[in-house]
Amino acid sequence: MRQVHKTCSSLIKLGYLLVVGSGLSTASVVHAQNAGDVLNEMEPREQASYIAGVIEGLAFSRFLNERPDTTGMQCIYDWYYQSETDRWPSIEQWFGRHPDRPVGAMLHVLIGRDCGS
């Protein structure tokens, strides 16, 4: 048990050193992204990747809540990936109106209009 504690402690210290050594502040590592961060601090490729990750999380969460039914999960995927219109302008406008709000919550509300919750 003592060895496990030493190993975990060493891994935590190593992780901290990697974060500090990489020039990132520890505050930014644990900071949840808000809508303003996505709009103002990220490049377009970063925005797309970040939003896709949030979409994946929302869809999987929906599946876990409703399994074995995949209807809600598929609606979320279709809302973002299969829409006949580009979703980014509506996301950008929504984020611009609420820059201090968490991205996941903002997308949950936006998607909920078409897919429920």
pLDDT digits (tens, 9 = 90+) for 66-88: 999 999 999 999 999 998 889 99
Instruction: Give the tens place of pLDDT for each residue, 45-74.
Output: 999 999 999 999 999 999 999 999 999 999
Query: Is residue 15 scored above 90 in pLDDT?
Result: no
- The reported pLDDT for the residue numbered 31 is 67
Cα angle 108, 88, 28; round to 5: 65
Look at residue 117 in the predicted model and tell me its pLDDT: 85
Q: Calculate the average pLDDT of the chain.
A: 82
Alpha-carbon gap, residue 17 to 91, rounded angstroms: 36
pLDDT of residue 62: 98
| Domain ranges (residues) in the chain | 1-30, 32-115
